[in-house]
Amino acid sequence: MVKIARWAHAGTVRTGFVHEGRCLALPEHSTPQDLFDAGLEATLDLAARTIAAAPGDGPRVGEVRLLAPLTPRTVRDFVTFEEHVEGVTASIDGAGGVVDEWYEAPTFYFTNPHTVRATGETIPVPSGCSRMDLETEVAAVLGSVDGITGTNLAPEEAHRMIFGYTVLNDWSARDVQAQEMKVRLGPCKGKDFASTLGPWIVTADELEHRHDAEGFLDLAMTAYVNDEPLGTDSLANMGWPFAELVAYASQDSLVVPGDVLGSGTSGRGCLAELWGRNGELTPPPLRTGDRVRLVVEGIGEIENMIGDRRREGVPAVRARRRGRSRAGAPAGAAVVGR
């Protein structure tokens, strides 16, 4: 199995392949983006030559500190599991069900590529958050393919652009998220403080045999909090396969090598869904010191500890007076500026 990783060891940071428990480094200054730009076929050839040249060399995985396996160009996170949508809707709105619009297209949002964390890192709780949550996901990483530009892709072309897969935890401050989304924009600060990717990228060819006839990957996904399982789902329960997510993202737009596309949270893959189903905060929100582990069959596992909460906040909006009136307000009334 070809696994692409980044690690810190003996004062250096290297990119390379993990093979039979050893980290085989590429030349210094190589990056994962170099591999995405070269494409999957060239990367598999390079991996074969690297392994043949030094099969027993390199430190063992347990001797290095694994880093996030890439610095994404962008991160689009979808919401493709119907069971998750139903439970979270009950948690936020107090009523179950899935809106009709969910079935029409695979909705996504952009999150922050600059706050990607690695397995083993401590995840801080953002300011104002009392309902810290996890999200169990798989992410596809895109690579270059000759003749494919990344715009208005057909699903078959999109499938060829999938370079590999990694585990994703889309950390969520649920109370912050719920408040800001009442403004009909977002999510933003409820999400952009951290996402974990790792422990490595498994190249797409290694999982090709796990696709069913419709293109879905049948991989078990399980989340644990302090070694207690929340539940297990299959990646095959996505509403759309990854190829269709990539194709949709490319419509009237552009996807490029190094882009990351998340599956969205699996069924029973977060706390908020269980809060909605249970009608109360059971299990409780994540607290400082909790350990969260996500395990995905065929890819690997990531684990993080929850850190302290940042206390500082932002002052409330300050009303500004304008020399005009807004619709439905008397002239001279205070108008809030954006």
**Number of separate helices (H) and strands (E) present in the chain:** 7, 20
pLDDT tens, per residue, the chain with 338 residues: 889 999 999 999 999 999 999 999 999 999 999 999 999 999 999 999 999 998 678 999 999 999 999 999 999 999 999 999 998 888 776 677 899 999 999 999 999 999 999 999 999 999 999 999 999 999 999 999 999 999 999 999 999 999 999 999 999 999 999 999 889 888 999 999 999 999 999 999 999 999 999 999 999 999 999 999 999 999 999 999 999 999 999 999 999 999 999 999 999 999 999 999 999 999 999 999 999 999 999 999 999 999 999 887 777 888 876 666 666 655 554 545 44
Q: Is the peptide bond before 315 cis (omega within 30 degrees of 0)?
A: no
Residues 6+ apart with CB under 8 A from 243: 155, 156, 158, 159, 162, 215
Spatial distance between the Cα atoms of 274 and 291, rounded to a whole number of angstroms: 18
Residues 6+ apart with CB under 8 A from 227: 291, 293
Neighbours of 242 (CB within 10 A): 28
Angle at CA 275, nearest 5°, toward 271 and 280?
135
The three-class DSSP label of residue 93 is helix
- What is the domain partition of the chain in residue ranges? 3-67, 75-309
**Cα–Cα distance list, 93 to 72, 90, 273, 275, 276 (Å):** 33, 5, 12, 12, 9
How many Cα atoms occupy the beta-carbon half-sphere of 205 within 13 Å?
A: 13
Q: 269, 307, 271: which is closest to 287 by C-alpha?
A: 307
Evaluate whether the domain defined by 75-309 bears CATH number 2.40.50.100: no
